[in-house]
Chains A and B, each alone.
Chain A
Amino acid sequence: MTFVNKTCQIVINGDFFDVLESSSLMAVLVNNGIFNLKANGVSGQKRFGICGMGTCFECEVTLKNVGVRRACLLKTEPGMVVETGMTDG
């Protein structure tokens, strides 16, 4: 495992966060108390992932200029712009 002990800045819901590069995005979200990851497309109810391995799609967030991605599969990258609480349509 390569430990890149380098911080980078990412944006979550308009707020800036200094985080370690290549750390788990899920960890960053949860450690900052962000559990409202996705709004259900039918009811609008707030949802958070339940499986942690990419099958439930309940942790989908929007990455600016990239698209909708599962937060549990991602690692932080410099300049990442994350929006949570959106519906998947």
Chain B
Amino acid sequence: MGKPTPSRGSKRVIETQVVVVGGGPAGLSAGLILDRGHISVLLIDENSELGGQYYRQRGALSSSSIDNFRPKGTHLVESVKKSKISVLTSTYIFAVSDHEKTLYAFDESTNEVVSILYDFVVVSTGSQELVLPYSGWETIKCMTPGMVSRLFDIDLIEPKQSVVLGGSGPFLLSVASHLLKRGVTVKAIVEYHHPYRIKFISLLTFFFPSRLIEYLSYRKILWENNVSIHSGYQIACAEPQSSGIKSVFQPLNQKSQLSFTSDFLAISYGFSPTIELAALLDIDLNQSNHSRSPDVRLSGKTSKDWVYVAGESAGIQGWRSAKIRGEVAALSIIDSLGTLSLKNQILRFGKTISLMYESLFSKIRIYTFREKEPFRFVPSDSTIVCRCENVTYAEVKKYLNEDWSSASEIKAETRVGMGTCQGKQCGYALNRLCTSPHLEPSNKFTNIRAPIRPLPISALLQLAEDPD
């Protein structure tokens, strides 16, 4: 860029001691603790309303007879709104400064770029559902269980419809029972593994009575509604028909295939942490063959003193853990500022103990659902791998080579992962296509670069006006 232009009117600069990115259970509870500690907090969320996915707020309702969804979340959101915390909704981070503690955000409600100068950042960006492409998954009304749950539970769409749930994980049971409570017909739950067979590890859940009760309550609702769980099947294809979506599930052993017709089809294979911002902030990541997560200590600390990660973005453990992680990270920040009172030290100790208890449960879950094992991914030629760029498996196959084909190479050759969502939906599929045994784990993922969200040209122009 040439000389800086004098007009910088539209760019906002916000200075804060702590910026919390993500207004879900972790971000909300972190913000409240910091605020009580008299620390200035800016809480940012991409949504137009705070709450994240778990505490998503229903918005205005046509019928006042329906209770608010998860009232504890509503209470948390209200507490944040009453506090001194500055809240920026409809705003997302797209870049970070390499040399200063600055985040660049885009405010969708005002079309402005916002520069945020901070001392500490709490990354509480949550998680996203893992999807594996199957033939026909681009069909309208094929989605993730998270979305189907949102449509019926939050958006309160007409419940006299039917849903088939598939993929893997305990989330399928939770979604199914919520749907049934709203009067939705759940035709079946099709689970990839066999997690519901009683085995030795199942006995350990007796140490987690609240989870056991939760699980049994799901099973009771499923049983009352005659919903069967089919284990050991994977979705093969979905096909739109006049009566709904026909879904075909392939058995993983010698059984015969299953087929259903429903209004909605929802498939996902559990969750993975949203790591884009953590990666941009250049903190150390843990890399295995099929997943990446930030390297986070129990305190929320990372490889950089000023970056804390809390909630599901620190690792998948559920909302209880997310909330505690938010609180612990906030207390650790107060501690590093040298102002942690004795009362708060005791609080942090207690929270850390409950966090360890939660981690133990998530270990049992990982073992029960065999989450460490990669799911089979055998796409048909016509399967769309990258939805945004509409790239089929037949096109990708031409560039797959046993000896090379890193994620970046496949991306460059085929445009998989280059579309609007920037590889967020097809990232897991791309990772699974890199089957070469010669590849380092790091080569099975693409590099994360700014902007991590697509930006309007006007935003780039505002940035260009910045003399720095």
A57 to B147, CA, bound (A): 13
A24, B59: Cβ atoms under 8 Å? Answer: yes
**List of A residues within 8 angstroms of B456 by Cβ:** 67-68
Instruction: Out of B46, B128, B155, name the residue touching A51 (CB < 8 Å).
Output: B128
Measured between beta carbons, the chain B residues less than 8 angstroms from A30 are: 151, 155, 157
With a cutoff of 8 Å between Cβ atoms, the chain B residues found around residue A40 in the complex are 138, 387-388, 390
The contact of A52 among B140, B151, B388, by CB within 8 Å, is B151
**Cross-interface CB contact of A3 among B61, B141, B424, cutoff 8 Å:** B61
Q: Is the CB of A45 within 8 A of B62?
A: no
Asked if B388 and A20 sit within 8 Å, CB to CB, the answer is no
B421 touches A48 (CB 8 A): no
In the assembled complex, the CB of B254 is this many whole angstroms from the nearest CB of chain A, namely 32
Q: Is A78 an interface residue (CB 8 A)?
A: no
Q: How many chain A residues touch B (Cβ–Cβ < 8 Å)? A: 45
Interfacial chain A residues near B274, Cβ < 8 Å: 55
> Which residue from B47, B141, B155, B390 sits with its C-beta under 8 Å from A27?
B155
- B180 on interface, CB distance cutoff 8 Å: no
Contact with A along B420-450 (1 / 0, CB 8 A): 1100110000000000000000000000000
Among B346-395, those with CB < 8 Å from A are 387-390
Q: Contact mask A43-59 → B, CB, 8 Å, 1/0?
A: 10111111111111110
Q: Is the CB of A73 within 8 A of B46?
A: yes
B408 at the interface (CB under 8 A from A): no
Name A88's contact: one of B46, B59, B420 (CB within 8 Å).
Answer: B420
CB contacts (< 8 Å) of B147 on chain A: these are 49-53, 72
Does B68 lie within 8 Å of A56, measured CB to CB? no
Contact call A4/B60, Cβ cutoff below 8 A: yes
Shortest C-beta distance, B81 to chain A (Å), equals 9
Task: Identify whether the interface residues of A are mostly helix, strand, loop, or mixed.
Answer: loop
Interface string of A12-49 (1 = CB under 8 A from B): 00000000111110110011000110001111011111
Contact pick for A26, options B148, B155, B425, CB 8 Å:
B155
Cβ–Cβ contact B140 & A36, under 8 A: yes
Expressed in whole angstroms, the Cα–Cα distance for A58 and B147 within the complex equals: 12
Q: Are A52 and B59 in contact (CB under 8 A)?
A: no
Known contacts A24-B154, A88-B420, A55 near B78 by CB under 8 Å: no
Q: Tell me the minimal C-beta distance from B426 to chain A in angstroms.
A: 10
Evaluate whether A23 and B59 lie within 8 angstroms (CB atoms) in the complex, with A47-B387, A51-B146, A56-B387 already known. Answer: yes
Cβ of B239 < 8 Å from any Cβ of A?
no
Q: Is B53's CB within 8 Å of the partner chain A? A: yes
Identify which of A23, A50, A57, A73 contacts B420 (C-beta below 8 A). Answer: A57
Q: List residues 41-55 of chain B with CB under 8 A from any CB of chain A.
A: 46-49, 53
Which of chain B's residues have a CB closer than 8 A to the CB of A23?
Answer: 59-62
Decide if B143 is an interface residue (CB 8 Å cutoff): yes
Do B151 and A1 have beta carbons less than 8 Å apart?
A: no
Residue of B nearest to A3 (CB): B60
Known contacts A4-B60, A51-B143; A56 and B421 CB within 8 A of each other: yes
B247 at the interface (CB under 8 A from A): no
Taking each of B47, B48, B155, which has the highest tally of chain A beta carbons within 10 Å of its own beta carbon?
A: B155
A1 to chain B, nearest CB (A): 5
Contact of B425 among A42, A45, A51, A73 (CB under 8 A): A51
Q: Within B70-84, which residues are at the interface with A (CB < 8 Å)?
A: 74, 77-78
Contact assessment for A1 and B143 in the assembled complex, using a CB-CB cutoff below 8 Å: no
Chain A residues near B49: list those with CB within 8 A: 75
Cross-chain contact A50 with B60 (CB below 8 angstroms): no
Contacts of A74 in B (CB 8 A): 48
Give Cα A78 to B144, complex, Å.
31
User: Residue A20 contacts which of B60, B146, B158 (CB distance < 8 angstroms)?
Assistant: B60
Partner of B53, one of A1, A45, A53: A53
CB contacts (< 8 Å) of B90 on chain A: these are 73
Contacting pair A53 B128 (CB below 8 A): yes
Per the bound structure, the CA–CA distance linking A52 and B52 in Å amounts to 11
Asked, given contacts A1-B68, A57-B420, whether A52 binds B60 with beta carbons under 8 Å apart, the answer is: no
The residues of A that contact B78 with a CB separation of less than 8 Å are: 1
The minimal Cβ–Cβ distance linking A76 to chain B, given in whole angstroms, is 8
**Interchain Cβ contacts under 8 Å between A and B, 12 examples:** A3-B61, A6-B60, A20-B62, A22-B60, A23-B62, A24-B58, A30-B151, A41-B388, A52-B150, A55-B128, A57-B420, A73-B46
Q: Contact residues of A with B, CB < 8 Å? A: 1, 3-6, 20-24, 26-27, 30-31, 35-36, 40-43, 45-58, 60, 66-69, 72-76, 88
Given contacts A40-B138, A50-B425, 12 further A-B contacts (CB under 8 A): A4-B60, A20-B62, A26-B150, A40-B387, A49-B143, A50-B137, A50-B387, A51-B147, A51-B425, A54-B47, A55-B425, A66-B111
